[in-house]
Amino acid sequence: MGNGNENNTNSSNPSTRLSQVASHLSPTPAKKRKSPRNKKDEPPADYSDILSQLKTLRKKASTPDINNKGYIRQKQAGKLWVRERVYSLLDAGSFQEIGSVSGTVTWKQLSPKKEEPMDFVPSNNVQGFGKLNGRKIVFTADDFSIRAGHADGALMEKTIYLEKLAVSLRLPIVKLVDGSSGGGSVTTIKTHRFSYIPPMPSFKHVVEQLNLGIPNLGAVLGPAIGLGAARVVSCHFSVMAADVGSLFNAGPKVVAGATFEEGLSLADLGGPGIHCTNGTIDNLAEDEMGCFEQIRTVLSFLPNSGSSLPPVVKCEDPADRLCEELRTIIPRRKARMYDPRRIIRSVVDLESWFEIGALWGTSAIVGLARLDGRPVGIISLNCEVNAGALDAAGSQKITRHLKFCDIFNIPILQFVDVPGYAIGTTAERSATMRHGIALATTYFSTTTPVFSVVTRKVYGVAGGIMLDCRDPRMRIAWPSGEWGSLPLDGGIEVGHAAELKAAEAAGKREERYKELEEEYTRLMNPVRTANAFGVEEIVDPALTRQIVCEWLKHVYEELLPIRLVERGIGKINPIFY
């Protein structure tokens, strides 16, 4: 106790305390400690080392290796390099890449903790954000120069991510296909050291996009093989470059081993002459730049998703413009043909008509146009092909277009001149009625508004389903209209077979047939049908544009907003595939 008190007393001595304070104010300089490691090993505070690595990899990815065999092959085939395609497609300065350094890197170790990239092979798919005429999109572009687009040069996760992103952000997706788009290659077995059951993890998201009405637009810019072919064919709209495009399930070498069809070129196996004429691919373009232009055009008609309205643009073409040339476009002689595309171009906004599928299903004409700036789907029969009789391919074409318009909330204007379904042995062999009934069920299961203009013939089941698909009907007829269960040619023979047989026995068949034909022709005056309210209104063809523009304006202002609500709550659920 005593010692403790003594210490406390000494420490509280004023001189002692003053000395202690002084020592604190003027401490003895501390000895410098040696740094435990070399400053050269310290990473920079601004992360410039990491940023430098990224810059190096991005520069290598964006610079073509002109000595690379794949790049040389690409150019020899007359094709653009992948990034040339991207910059040609997108608005200037709008490209924002996603996964810019994804790929295979060879690293050089500089020290125990430092390394730098020595070699870099980018993944064979360039993707990201961009703009088309100011519209934001996401896109994928195959790089055929790296392993021909096969899986051993791709990153599946990268493609799946973008498919998910399109759904999440409700953004249109453009797919530039050249190769297999990450599809299989036998070399993958060697790399993984085992074989695998082919997975399809991305297709769930593709189907979701299609049925949500998120525009899927694809271009075939080289050989689209296997998965690459599937990706572009599944799109809402597809186009093939005539000079470099082809599409097939498997290439010529695989085909030769399986079917013994040897010596096939890419065009022989699946070029434009095959797939742009059988409906596999919608449209044909002269070259890659033509493909890009068609994609821009189609997108201009479409909303970002089915939860939005199609975009309306300013129109300089008066809605009440008279179409006087339509008064004489339908010949009085029933057997004579006319150009149905002239009718379409006359009625819609000037320069707005865009045809889809012109090279296949030619008994039908479909496409997109505008009326007073508002997008509208167009359906017409083509009297210049098989007299307009609807065959199997024509039915398939209209079926697809009905679903297309339904998915994107685009109302439909149809010009009807149909003598019925195609008949004869060719029609029967091609399952015309099967595809015709598929068309009928599509007409009655889709819900987008339809307006019909009867330009001439309406006969049989085909005519009935086209005009009776909405209740109440929205339709007008031109003075040239004629209709019934069967055309008079053939119909008279069926309905008066016994009578004509008796007249033939008396040597008066031709005379009696002419009497019946004249009587039926008189009774088929369209005014008589209007008298019985069998047709709602017969109008001057010159007024057609004015009438349909007024209808479409009402649809956009009153009906389509209700449709969006009904889609939102699940009352209607359009399906594309």
The domain spanning residue 153 has which CATH number? Answer: 3.90.226.10
Within 8 A by CB and 6+ apart from 420, the residues are 389, 390, 459, 460, 461, 462, 463, 486, 487
User: For position 197, what pLDDT does the model report?
Assistant: 74
Q: Are 276 and 332 in the same domain?
A: no
> Which residue, 230, 133, 212, 125, is CA-closest to 168?
212
Query: Do residues 423 and 358 both lie within one domain?
Result: yes
Domain boundary among 233, 268, 301: 301
* Same structural domain, 196 and 333: no
Query: Considering the chain, what percentage of its residues have pLDDT values greater than 70?
Result: 90
Examine residue 47 and state whether it is found in any structural domain, yes or no: no
How do residues 207-228 score in pLDDT, each as one tens digit? 999 999 999 999 999 999 988 9
d(CA 374, CA 365): 20
pTM: 0.88
Q: Is pLDDT at 363 greater than 50 in this prediction?
A: yes
Cβ neighbours around 11 below 10 Å, total: 10
What pLDDT is recorded for position 185?
Answer: 62
CB–CB of 102/58 below 8 Å? no
Compute the distance between CA of residue 127 and CA of residue 158 in angstroms, rounded to an integer.
Answer: 8
Question: Do 258 and 374 fall within a single domain?
Answer: no
pLDDT at residue 184 in the model: 56
Residue 361 domain flag? yes
DSSP 111-157: SSS-EEEEEEEE-SEEEEEEEETTEEEEEEEE-TTTGGG-GGG--HH
Query: Whole-angstrom Cα distance, residue 225 to residue 272?
Result: 14
Same structural domain for residues 293 and 426?
no
The answer to whether residues 188 and 336 belong to one domain is: no
The CA radius of gyration of the chain, in Å to the nearest whole number, is 35
**How would DSSP label each residue in 203-260?**
HHHHHHHHHHT--EEEEEEEEEETHHHHHHHTSSEEEEETTT-EEESS-HHHHHHHH-
Mean pLDDT over each residue of the chain, to the nearest integer: 91
CB 361 within 8 A of CB 352: no
- For 152, the domain range is 62-301
Do 376 and 445 belong to one domain?
yes
In terms of domains, do 339 and 294 share one? no
3-state secondary structure at position 355: strand
pLDDT tens per residue, range 306-350: 999 999 999 999 999 999 999 999 999 988 999 999 999 999 999
Q: pLDDT class for 486, splitting at 50, 70, 90? A: confident
CA distance 49 to 574: 52
Note the pLDDT tens digit of each residue in 35-92: 555 566 688 899 999 999 999 999 999 999 999 999 999 999 999 999 999 999 999 9
**C-alpha distances in angstroms, 147 versus 70, 154, 204, 222, 436?**
8, 9, 26, 14, 44
Residue 315 lies in a domain: no
**Backbone φ and ψ of 257, nearest 5°:** -75, -25
Q: What are the tens digits of pLDDT across the range 420-452?
A: 999 999 999 999 999 999 999 999 999 999 999
- Reply yes or no on whether the pLDDT at 6 is more than 50: no
Does residue 382 sit in the same domain as residue 454? yes
Confidence of residue 27 (pLDDT cuts 50, 70, 90): low
Q: Map residue 7 onto helix, strand or coil.
A: helix
- Residue 4 is predicted with a pLDDT of 46
How many folded domains does the chain comprise? 2
**Residue 358: closest CA among 470, 427, 283:** 283
What is the biggest distance separating any 2 CA atoms in the chain, rounded to whole angstroms? 159
> Residue 358 — left, alpha, or beta (φ > 0 → left; ψ -120 to 50 → alpha)?
alpha
What tokens appear for 223 in the block?
């050989």
Q: Domain check: are 130 and 271 in the same one?
A: yes
Q: Which two tokens stand for residue 125?
A: 């798919």
Instruction: Name residue 145's amino acid.
Output: S
Predicted confidence (pLDDT) at residue 409 exceeds the cutoff of 60:
yes
**Beta 115-122 vs 103-109: how paired, if at all?**
antiparallel
Query: Which of 267, 301, 335 marks a domain boundary?
Result: 301
pLDDT at residue 418 in the model: 96
Q: Is residue 1 very low, low, confident or very high in pLDDT (cuts 50, 70, 90)? A: very low
* Domain's final residue, options 301, 334, 362: 301
Instruction: Let me know whether 339 and 239 are in one domain.
Output: no
Same domain, 294 and 335: no
**Domain-embedded: residue 36:** no
Choose from 110-114, 258-262, 368-372, 487-491 the range with maximum mean pLDDT.
368-372
Q: What is the pLDDT of residue 156?
A: 79
